[in-house]
């Protein structure tokens, strides 16, 4: 189990991924280890961030667009994950 600052360890696990990559200038099928991140709580973080008043929303096409400063959202999410994830 790996750990990244602000993410804890319960939401991280190693997983094998396969894809084509260039190896010595040749395309090859390669299997490698990568992190699998849980996104189960992303909607909750977004909803709580919206309640801070730091985003604007409005109609875009047939849906609703949400506009926020990325730095503010990332800072909020980092702090939120540190508090709510083990």
pLDDT of residue 4: 45
pLDDT of 66 above 70: yes
What's the pTM value of the predicted model, to 2 decimals? 0.59
Region 22-37: mean pLDDT is: 85
Q: Give the 3-state secondary structure of residue 78.
A: helix
Task: Please give the Cα distance from 81 to 86 (Å, whole number).
Answer: 8
pLDDT of residue 3: 45
**CA proximity to 31, closest of 44, 42, 21:** 21
Region 60-78: mean pLDDT is: 96
Task: Please give the Cα distance from 84 to 8 (Å, whole number).
Answer: 9
Instruction: For residue 79, give the DSSP letter.
Output: H
Q: Parse the chain into domains and list their residue ranges.
A: 1-38, 41-86
Give tens-digit pLDDT for 33-62.
Answer: 877 678 889 999 999 999 999 999 999 999
pLDDT of residue 73: 96
pLDDT of residue 14: 63
């Amino acid at each position: 189990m790996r750990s990244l600052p602000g993410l804890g360890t319960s939401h991280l696990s190693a997983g094998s991924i396969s894809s084509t990559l260039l190896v010595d200038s040749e395309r090859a099928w390669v299997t490698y280890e990568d992190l699998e991140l849980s996104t189960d709580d992303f909607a909750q973080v977004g909803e709580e961030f919206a309640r801070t008043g730091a985003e604007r929303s409005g109609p875009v096409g047939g849906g609703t667009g949400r506009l926020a400063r990325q730095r503010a959202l990332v800072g909020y999410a980092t702090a939120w994950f540190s508090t709510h994830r083990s």
